[in-house]
Amino acid sequence: MAVNVIANPVNLSWSNFRVVDSSPDLSGDEVAQIHPEMRLPPNVQVVNSNGAFRLNAFTITVAPVPQDTIVLRSATQTADLLRHEQGHYDLPILVAKAMARDLGAATGSSASALNTRVQTIQQTHNANAQAIDAAYDTQTDHGKDSLQQTSWNQAIAAALGNPATGTVRGLRL
């Protein structure tokens, strides 16, 4: 069954960020953060198709969590900073698309077996998302390394343009 992914919004703007005076969530010289979330509908249905259990079609939504998407009041809201935060948003969109492919192809001999498979798929992709996000921040030095940021921007754009991609910069989605 088809599992789709939508991002809401597709592109971030500074209006998606809550302006704060300070935040314990920001470390070092970080001045902004986005907290994207992949949301599955609460009641995904299971169907039995000739003895193989599958998930019925549904949509995964990727969206910022408003209370955790912040920018410091003292920060200069530059296009480069927003582009870096967009990367933090695009990466979970890519992971959600890879997860959607795996969930859409998942089968089980019973509803319980399918549920176990679904949980494994979700855990794997959530772990991948955390590893990719950490690599992105480390390699770009939180967006301050312009050469690495450009390289990541290009890799993310290429991956977004290829619906079958399973990696970005060699990292599994």
Domain boundaries, the chain: 3-166
Quote the pLDDT of residue 11: 98
Q: How confident is the model at residue 26 (pLDDT cuts 50, 70, 90)?
A: confident
- Evaluate whether 62 touches 10 at the Cβ level (below 8 Å): no
Residue range 149-172: average pLDDT?
97
List helix spans (H) across the chain: 79-105, 111-140, 146-160
Find all residues with CB under 8 Å of 33, minimum gap 6, and list them.
23, 25, 26, 68, 69, 70, 85, 88
Owner of token pair 């009041």: 73
45-77 pLDDT, tens digit per residue, is: 999 988 899 999 999 999 999 999 999 999 999
User: Burial letters for 129-148: b for 16+ Cβ neighbours within 10 Å, e otherwise?
Assistant: beebbebbbeebebbeeeeb
Task: Decide which of 50 and 84 is more confident.
Answer: 84
User: Does the pTM exceed 0.75?
Assistant: yes
* pLDDT mean over 112-117: 96
Give bridge partners of residue 171 from the DSSP assignment. Answer: 168
How sure is the predictor about 82, in pLDDT bands with cuts at 50, 70 and 90?
very high
The size of the chain, in residues, is 173
Sheet of strand 70-72, all strands in order from the earlier edge strand to the far edge: 18-20, 70-72, 32-33
